[in-house]
Amino acid sequence: MKYKDKEYIDAYNELSTATANMLEDDNLLAKAIASIIRNQMEDFHCKYLTDEQMKELNPIIRNSIYSALQLIRQDPMMLYVYAKMYVPTYWEDCEKIQI
């Protein structure tokens, strides 16, 4: 499809709107982030965790992400305080992974 095709523009506008809506919907955003975490844990899951354990871990991850997003929106200074209190100084810096 060419850039100026109406179908392409309509599809792009629809995707753009859906993305903007997702960024405002903490529930959907948390699920999207959790799915990335879940996919990155697949090898670990297969090696060390049963399906039952993973079933229990999945909502813990999703709900934790959701709660952090809610905290960011409602009181970002509290997230900073939380980070200062609970993020260990020995943790390595984050790195971008291939998803």
Those residues with Cβ within 8 angstroms of residue 57's Cβ, 6 or more apart along the chain or in another chain: 49
Q: What is the pLDDT of residue 4?
A: 67
Average pLDDT score over residue span 71-77: 94
Q: How many CB atoms lie under 10 A from the CB of residue 30?
A: 20
Residue 93 included in any domain:
no
In a domain, 99, yes or no: no
Domain assignment of residue 91, yes or no: no
pLDDT tens digits for range 11-54 = 899 999 999 998 899 999 999 999 999 999 999 999 999 999 99
Number of folded domains that form the chain: 1
Amino acid 7: pLDDT: 87
Q: pTM surpassing 0.85?
A: no
Q: Does some domain include residue 79?
A: yes
Domain containing 48 equals: 26-86
Q: Is residue 18 part of a domain?
A: no
Q: Is residue 77 part of a domain?
A: yes
